[in-house]
A and B are shown apart, each in its own frame.
With several copies, the nearest count.
Chain A
Amino acid sequence: MIRSDNGYFGEFGGRFVPEILLPALTELEDLFFGLRDDPDFWEEYVTLCQEFSGRPTPLTPLRRLSKQLGGAQIWLKREDLNHSGAHKINNVLGQGLLVQRMGKQRVIAETGAGQHGLATAIMAARLGLEATIYMGAEDIERQYSNVFWMRQLGSNVVGVTTGAQTLKEALDEALRDWAASVETTHYVLGTACGPAPFPELVSYFQSIISDEIKEQSQRQMGRLPDEIVACVGGGSNAMGAFGAFLEDHEVALVGVEAGGLSLEDGKHSVRLSHNTGETGIAQGYKTLFLQNDDGQLGDTHSIAAGLDYVGVSPILAYLSQQGRVIPESATDDEVTEAFSLLMKTEGIIPALESAHGLAGGFKRAREMRPDQNVVINLSGRGDKDIFNIARAFPQREWTEFLQREAARSTELLAQKRGH
């Protein structure tokens, strides 16, 4: 895995946080630096992922689809089969091991769509930790199903009502909580962003994905893949899929961002390509942000709530600046098309986030030769967010079902009160 130069990757990264958070970050960094080269620690982590989350996840060949597209052989790295339904759990389990070593009894996390919050709630339940999850009130409103699960898991979900009430504000609010609780609380950051050592630490745990891809591609293809494609929100699944291949220059690494509705301001989340992102310093680190001339962070849009983020991993900002990672983007329409194509041709329901990787990967595979191999990181499954997907594919039957279900639910509540 890539290593930072004192928290920096080229010009990106760093640790721009209120002084009060510094000791916790240093403590975490010291702990992490002390463990990351310890094979026993890695083994402990791999065992945990195996026994709790079912790793290794398979590398699934898409035989029918590859034939249909007529280009390279396409393989999916099946992070959707993880416990909780996405790669997010890898990082969270790893941080759980650190929490236990630090002896802290409480964790906090920010979450946008809810996937990282859910993963954190799961880890907290499993380890017996108290958990508070910050989530924008607007996100809660739209992603209540994840909130439902987090609460069932025993987590305290706090709606953030400042600003636009979405992920960015939730992250700010989690930092505020942390500033007040840093001595007893660990902040489980959910992606390869934020102040050092988070980008490096999250990438380290997620690199279990590329470790497996490497071994599996040798076994299943007889060599390394020609390309690896991943969607890029904060960048954790991409760094996970790319990590072990950074020195293998024959393997192209492609990150697909959310092209949204268009490249107009506020209609997308493209930070790496198209010169839409500009260097900035916020949320604890320096990277390419969507922002205006005054340095105010911008609005974002994506059909996939998990890609709807204003910053991006400083490591990816650096690697794409260096030309090692090729940035691409996929529009909402391309994404729904790739989503349907995978479902109907291979029987796999992707997360809308991951469908960005599919859209980008399919496009590239089409231009390649049948003796080449493309691995797309399927970062999560789609059935975890039926509400989002139903919004992307409006249908009368679904609307009617929701109406009936709302009525049924009202009745059940009344019965419960009657007890």
Chain B
Amino acid sequence: MFPAQYDDLQIMSHAVVGFPSLEENEKAIAGLAAAGVKLIELQVPFSDPVADGHTLVNACYEALKHGGSVQATLDLAQRVCARHPEVTFILMSYLNPLYRYGLEDLFEQAAAAGIRGMIVPDWPVEEIEPWLPKLDALGLAPILMVTPNTSPERVAKITRASRGMVYVVSRMGVTGHETQWGEKFQNYIAEIRKHTDLPLAVGFGVRTADDLEALAGKAEVAAFCSQYIEWQRDDGSEVAAQKMHSIIETIPQA
């Protein structure tokens, strides 16, 4: 399940469904699970992933050529949720593939497959709100994003609609570049905590053991995605899982 507030820092990692191939996804996920990853995003590849950096954009492009789709994601979820009950699987997608699939059907089938949460970066809170009763009934948590330039009123609104976790965008910009975890960032986190008791998942720019060390004690979840996908791309899923294992070992525990 999702961590509780102030739990030790956990890693959330990533699979792009179809990248490098559908078969490889299952092995990679098994590797991540074995490495100690407790949260995994299953990303439906999309032709226009505007909120992703180049690593994930290119992975999407490849994944689409290798059969990545909403249906493939649901099928994969079915299998991996059953096989790795200790891992919480989160559906990550842009809105259109879900919309085309039919949102209601999608929610039901995702929940039935064992998916626990949903991250949809181009789905604004206003459009999510009407679905909350349905999502709550299904136990499917919408994990919404707040960003450094989100106004306090809007943080309140977003955290109110979020379930499971709140996704904290660490800095301006898209996935895969460097960031900083100084005082400004801590003030930012503190501001968000004023509005919610949900655990915080910090994403965008988490790439090194140093990043994890910096985040430990400040957030409950670190989204370690682009860097992992680069390992997977360059070294294969097995080596990537080993690297993931090593880096998880470095996380300071309270």
Cβ–Cβ < 8 Å partners of A168 in chain B = 47-48
Cross-chain contact B70 with A295 (CB below 8 angstroms): yes
Cross-chain contact A295 with B100 (CB below 8 angstroms): yes
Among A23, A179, A297, contact of B174 (Cβ-Cβ < 8 Å): A179
B101 interface residue per 8 A CB criterion? yes
Among A172, A175, A281, contact of B96 (Cβ-Cβ < 8 Å): A281
A176 interface residue per 8 A CB criterion? yes
B253 interface residue per 8 A CB criterion? no
Cross-chain contact B124 with A16 (CB below 8 angstroms): yes
Rounded to whole angstroms, the CA-CA distance of A23 and B99 in the bound complex is 25
B224 interface residue per 8 A CB criterion? no
Among A23, A175, A183, A294, contact of B97 (Cβ-Cβ < 8 Å): A294
Contact code string A111-134 (vs B, CB < 8 Å = 1, else 0): 000000000000000000000000
Cross-chain contact A17 with B124 (CB below 8 angstroms): yes
Cross-chain contact B122 with A17 (CB below 8 angstroms): yes
Cβ–Cβ < 8 Å partners of A181 in chain B = 172-173
Q: How many residues of B contact A (CB 8 A)?
A: 44
Residue of A nearest to B122 (CB): A16
Cross-chain contact A282 with B174 (CB below 8 angstroms): no
Cross-chain contact B150 with A19 (CB below 8 angstroms): yes
A20 interface residue per 8 A CB criterion? yes
Q: Nearest chain B CB to A237's CB is how many angstroms away?
A: 24
Residue of B nearest to A285 (CB): B122
Rounded to whole angstroms, the CA-CA distance of A162 and B123 in the bound complex is 23
Cβ–Cβ < 8 Å partners of A273 in chain B = none
**B window 144-163: CB within 8 A of A:** 144-151, 154, 158
Cross-chain contact A172 with B57 (CB below 8 angstroms): yes
Cross-chain contact B172 with A180 (CB below 8 angstroms): yes
Cβ–Cβ < 8 Å partners of A172 in chain B = 48-50, 57
With A19-B169, A176-B50 in contact, is A162–B58 under 8 Å at CB? Answer: yes
A39 interface residue per 8 A CB criterion? no
B223 interface residue per 8 A CB criterion? no
A58 interface residue per 8 A CB criterion? no
Cβ–Cβ < 8 Å partners of B149 in chain A = 20, 23, 182-183
A15 interface residue per 8 A CB criterion? yes
Among A18, A23, A169, contact of B122 (Cβ-Cβ < 8 Å): A18
A248 interface residue per 8 A CB criterion? no
Cross-chain contact B97 with A295 (CB below 8 angstroms): yes
A262 interface residue per 8 A CB criterion? no
Among B70, B100, B151, B169, contact of A20 (Cβ-Cβ < 8 Å): B169
Contact code string B40-61 (vs A, CB < 8 Å = 1, else 0): 0000001111111110011001
Rounded to whole angstroms, the CA-CA distance of A15 and B122 in the bound complex is 9
User: Which of the listed residues A180, A281, A283 has the most CB atoms from chain B within 10 Å of its own CB?
Assistant: A281
Cross-chain contact B61 with A281 (CB below 8 angstroms): no
A293 interface residue per 8 A CB criterion? yes
**B window 113-127: CB within 8 A of A:** 121-124, 127
Rounded to whole angstroms, the CA-CA distance of A289 and B96 in the bound complex is 10
Cβ–Cβ < 8 Å partners of A281 in chain B = 95-96, 99, 122
Q: Nearest chain B CB to A136's CB is how many angstroms away?
A: 13
Cβ–Cβ < 8 Å partners of B50 in chain A = 17-18, 172, 175-176, 283-284
Cβ–Cβ < 8 Å partners of A71 in chain B = none
Rounded to whole angstroms, the CA-CA distance of A169 and B96 in the bound complex is 16
Cross-chain contact A176 with B53 (CB below 8 angstroms): yes
Cross-chain contact B54 with A162 (CB below 8 angstroms): yes
Cβ–Cβ < 8 Å partners of A179 in chain B = 51, 172-174
Contact code string B170-214 (vs A, CB < 8 Å = 1, else 0): 001110010000000000000000000000000000000000000
Q: Which residues of B contact A (CB under 8 A)?
A: 46-54, 57-58, 61, 64, 69-71, 94-101, 121-124, 127, 144-151, 154, 158, 169, 172-174, 177
Q: Which 9 A-B pairs have the closest CB atoms?
A: A180-B173, A295-B100, A295-B97, A20-B147, A295-B96, A18-B51, A296-B47, A297-B47, A294-B69
Task: Show 19 residue pairs from A and B whose CB-CB distance is below 8 angstroms, ordered by the A residue.
Answer: A18-B50, A19-B124, A20-B145, A22-B124, A23-B149, A172-B57, A176-B50, A176-B173, A179-B174, A181-B172, A183-B149, A183-B172, A280-B96, A280-B100, A281-B95, A294-B69, A295-B70, A296-B64, A297-B96
**Given A179-B173, A280-B99, 12 new contacts (CB under 8 A):** A14-B127, A16-B122, A16-B124, A18-B174, A162-B58, A180-B172, A181-B173, A183-B149, A281-B122, A282-B122, A294-B97, A295-B70
